[in-house]
């Protein structure tokens, strides 16, 4: 096995734009809102873009390689993550996602908890994370019926590098003027409650079933550790995924985990992933999958990378404490 890159799966959206052209040269025509970069879903499955398995779909490669690719603790029945980039030139709908229980019961797929990393923030860049303090479910429902939800939304201005955890049940929206790296559960279920009069379908009853107005979206500052030639920040840890930011100035050596795959998404700069049999380039906007059985590898260059994976939560907690408790 070797570090895998995949062809970008682009989706045109009415709120999309052309900002991926800042770091990509393979854009199709139209207002592109999403690029699915590591995906194994019925609505989009990645195709390998490099090496021996070039042209092979990710689900087929999982079937052939199993734990060697995804790890011994990751079920081959449901690929756990969906890694994408989002370009919003206009605001997305105000929406909410179900948890696993509701998602499986009603939609036949897992729920959707996600985390956002702001890759680029243009003038006026903003996000909606939750509602303003004191908003009740009755007020929320009445505002939806009136088509006047905006006064209740917790709208915040954001900067490049900001991170927000979006738990299932949290009302949210990506505002205009951003490129977001989104790491999420492998689900495409979204319940819209407000869509700026665009005429698309709303899902008010389902949204009211799953929304949790007690949830508050807060910027994640994480825990930062300094190393020689790099720093590493633990930004988000939950049962569904861990998100870490590597700020590499020269290099960092790592070892894969036989229990799980890793994914690296480059959000700034460029470099290489070196391993025993070769190397793979990684540039801004690229995602690379590290197979569970890869072994030793090295991240070399000047770049910022998001590392995402399905964690052993207790193991990661101990790793953090081992580095901060003296």
Residues acting as catalytic residues? 192
Residue 106 in 3-state DSSP?
helix
């Amino acid at each position: 096995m070797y570090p895998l890159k995949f062809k970008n799966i682009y989706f045109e959206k009415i709120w999309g734009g052309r900002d991926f052209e800042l770091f990509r040269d393979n854009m199709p025509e139209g207002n592109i809102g999403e690029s699915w970069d590591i995906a194994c879903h019925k609505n989009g499955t990645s195709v390998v873009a490099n090496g021996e398995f070039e042209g092979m779909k990710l689900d087929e490669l999982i079937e052939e390689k199993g734990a060697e690719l995804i790890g011994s603790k990751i079920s081959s029945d449901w690929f756990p993550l969906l890694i994408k980039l989002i370009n919003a030139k206009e605001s997305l709908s105000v929406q909410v996602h179900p948890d696993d229980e509701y998602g499986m019961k009603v939609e036949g797929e897992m729920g959707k908890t996600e985390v956002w990393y702001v890759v680029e923030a243009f003038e006026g860049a903003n996000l909606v994370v939750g509602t303003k303090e004191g908003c009740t479910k009755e007020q929320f429902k009445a505002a939806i019926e009136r088509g006047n939800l905006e006064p209740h939304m917790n709208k915040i201005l954001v900067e490049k590098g900001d991170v927000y955890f979006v738990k299932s049940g949290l009302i949210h929206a990506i505002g205009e003027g951003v490129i977001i790296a989104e790491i999420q559960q492998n689900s495409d279920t979204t319940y819209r409650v407000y869509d700026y009069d665009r005429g698309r379908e709303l899902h008010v009853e389902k949204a009211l079933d799953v929304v949790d107005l007690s949830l508050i979206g807060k910027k994640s500052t994480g825990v930062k550790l300094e190393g020689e030639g790099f720093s590493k920040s633990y930004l988000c840890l939950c049962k569904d995924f861990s998100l870490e930011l590597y700020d590499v100035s020269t290099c960092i050596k790592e070892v894969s985990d036989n229990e799980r795959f890793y994914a690296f998404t480059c959000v700034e700069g460029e470099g290489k992933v070196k391993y025993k049999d070769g190397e793979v380039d990684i540039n801004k906007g690229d995602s690379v999958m590290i197979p569970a059985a890869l072994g030793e590898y090295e991240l070399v260059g000047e770049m910022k990378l998001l590392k995402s994976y399905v964690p052993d939560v207790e193991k990661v907690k101990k790793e953090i404490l081992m580095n901060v408790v003296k």
